[in-house]
Amino acid sequence: MVNTKVNLSGLVLDNPVIPASGTFGFGYEFADIYDINILGSISCKGTTKEPRFGNPTPRIAECTEGLINSVGLQNPGVDKVISEELPKLSKVYKKPVIANISGFSVDDYAYSCQKINDCEQVGIIEVNVSCPNVHNGGMSFGTSAKSAYEVTKAVKSVTTKPVYIKLSPNVTDIAEIAKACEDAGADGISLINTLLGMKIDLKTRKPVIANKMGGFSGPAIFPVAVRMIYQVYEAVKIPIIGMGGVSSARDVIEIMLAGATAVQVGAANLVDPFACKKIIEDLPDVMQKYGIADISEIIGGSH
């Protein structure tokens, strides 16, 4: 019998498999097709201070070994997430969840994180710093070590729960940014978010996505994710939630060997709503195949 449990900043998960934010709604939508309590946790849909309608359509484009999305953080706003979405989820999911928070200024992040911090069912706050900083020309907070530090510091000053900063891969030195977050008090790092991609329709000769560019995810970005997680593991001493093109139990093992304590599954959920369920069911067999008795013992095992 293998042990699939992992400890994420004091939160003990039955297994390391977590649906990634933006690919699993608020979780309860999937409860009709299987028992979602088999999941390690759920990273809920990205939440902002105010409600957001999102970007114009088309928002999704299929690509070779992946897809591009530009949904634009469509969500009902933090107040409704707390009053409506999380209570709906609590009826069908009995474990702590990960609240994913986005913002367009440091004050936005602090406001939403402080509010969500009071929710009992939230075990970890995941702060997405891939959003454009409206006070700095629209550049993402996650592309600057200084900006990432400022957001982390602000959020940590108003929260008591573990804070994980979700980093953008669209940078030159991801390890430097991860270190800045650790220095500011982050409890953990989530990576990688999507790469910036684009697809052009050969008939119309125009971009397929209304916003022209969007986040590229799927199996094609998996080697990039493994590389960046490996680099960040060498740079920081805090735990990592790894993601980026994960679609199998073998991928979970590989990304944990690179340095992840837990693993999020994103685009695979959009291709197959049973993706996480299948990965969790396959994990014990894959562990046995590679002589792994306790999955937590392989974290960073490739270093």
Q: Where are the domains of the chain?
A: 6-298
Q: What are the Cα distances from residue 171, in Å, to 66, 102, 193? A: 20, 19, 11
- Reported as a single tens digit per residue, the pLDDT across 188-230 is 999 999 999 999 999 999 999 999 999 999 999 999 999 999 9
Residue 137 pLDDT: 62
Q: Which residue bears the tokens 């986005």? A: 102
DSSP code per residue over 39-102: SS--BPPPB-SS-B--PPSP-EEEETTEEEE-----B--HHHIIIIIHHHHHTT--S-EEEEE-
Angle (nearest 5°) at CA 230 between 152 and 159:
20
Q: What are the Cα distances from residue 125, in Å, to 30, 62, 76, 155, 237? A: 22, 30, 18, 10, 19
98 and 18 Cβ atoms separated by less than 8 Å: yes
CATH code matching the domain that covers 6-298, chosen among 3.60.15.10, 3.40.50.720, 3.20.20.70, 3.90.550.10: 3.20.20.70
163: Cβ–Cβ under 8 A, 6 or more apart, which residues? 113, 124, 125, 127, 152, 155, 156, 185, 186, 187, 188
- Told to judge if 119 belongs to the known catalytic residues of this protein, a careful annotator would answer no
Active-site pick, 44, 113, 131, 181 = 131
- Reported as a single tens digit per residue, the pLDDT across 72-123 is 999 999 999 999 999 999 999 999 999 999 999 999 999 999 999 999 999 9
Residue 146 pLDDT: 96
